[in-house]
Amino acid sequence: MSPDPSMAVREASSKSAHQPGFFRRILELILLLLTSLAALFYFKSAEEAQVEKRRLEEELRRVKSARDDSAGGRCAVCMGNPLEVALAPCGHVCLCRECADKVDTCPICREDIQDRTGVFVAT
Ligand SMILES: [Zn+2]
Ligand SMILES: [Zn+2]
């Protein structure tokens, strides 16, 4: 008996469609796509949150320094940052945290700095 060609084609196509792993492969690809999209979205929002945080910190510092400026307290070295450190043993409050770490002697009285204590200027 000769095989029916149309039967053979149908059999072949049904075989390829029901190949084990065919749909699973597509499903895996879709899952992979969804996962990478989710990861992309997560990273994007995390990055945005980071930028927002930096912006807020900057704003906070600006507002804080503006407030301290009205109280008349500014770092004697950089003239920009508010007063944040008391020097020991001379006791002068004339530096920000950044500059206090850079200098070895008090810019007011030239005494050697032994210790630096953080202060909060109440306004
Ligand atoms: Zn400074
Ligand atoms: Zn001093």
C-alpha 64 – ligand 2 centre gap (Å): 24
C-alpha 109 – ligand 1 centre gap (Å): 17
Whole-structure pTM value: 0.43
Residue 118: predicted pLDDT: 93
Residue 122: predicted pLDDT: 75
The answer to whether the peptide bond before residue 3 is cis (omega within 30 degrees of 0) is no
Residue 27: predicted pLDDT: 94
What letter represents residue 35's amino acid?
T
User: pLDDT below 50 — which residues of the chain?
Assistant: none
CA distances from 39 to 24, 33, 46, 50 (A): 22, 10, 10, 16
Structure letter (DSSP) for residue 76: T
Residue 62: predicted pLDDT: 83
- How many Å apart are CA 25 and CA 2, to the nearest integer? 36
C-alpha 56 – ligand 1 centre gap (Å): 21
C-alpha 74 – ligand 1 centre gap (Å): 8
Tokens of 30: 């879709």
Beta-bridge partners for 122: none
Of residues 115, 119, 96, the one with CA closest to residue 104: 115
